[in-house]
Amino acid sequence: MAAPSPQDLIAERVERLLVRYEQLQHTNALMAQQIATLTQERDSLRSRLQAARHRIDVLIERLPTTPAPEDNA
């Protein structure tokens, strides 16, 4: 069996590189989609947190203010 020619070796290497490149493109697209999903989830959570803080601030403002008890010691 004859050894593969340098051109055959180069062609094989190029084919492997192209397959790897396609795999990386696919992985990159999945990661970009994941980033978009996580960014949307983060923004939603920030919005909910801000709304909850606002509700707590409103409740705190509604609390009655009573003078501090004096020590009669």
Note the pLDDT tens digit of each residue in 20-63.
999 999 999 999 999 999 999 999 999 999 999 999 999 999 99
Q: How large is the average pLDDT for residues 7-23?
A: 97
Do the domain assignments include residue 53? yes
The total number of structural domains in the chain stands at 1
Threshold 0.75, pTM exceeds: no
DSSP per-residue letters across 39-52: HHHHHHHHHHHHHH
Do the domain assignments include residue 1? no
- Is the pLDDT at 14 greater than 60, yes or no? yes
Domain enclosing residue 54, as ranges:
18-60
Give residue 50's identity as a one-letter amino acid code: Q
Longest Cα separation, the chain: 108
Do the domain assignments include residue 65? no
State how far the Cα of 35 lies from the Cα of 41, in Å rounded to an integer.
10
State how far the Cα of 7 lies from the Cα of 15, in Å rounded to an integer.
12
pLDDT at residue 11, rounded to an integer: 97
Do the domain assignments include residue 13? no
pLDDT at residue 65, rounded to an integer: 87
Do the domain assignments include residue 72? no
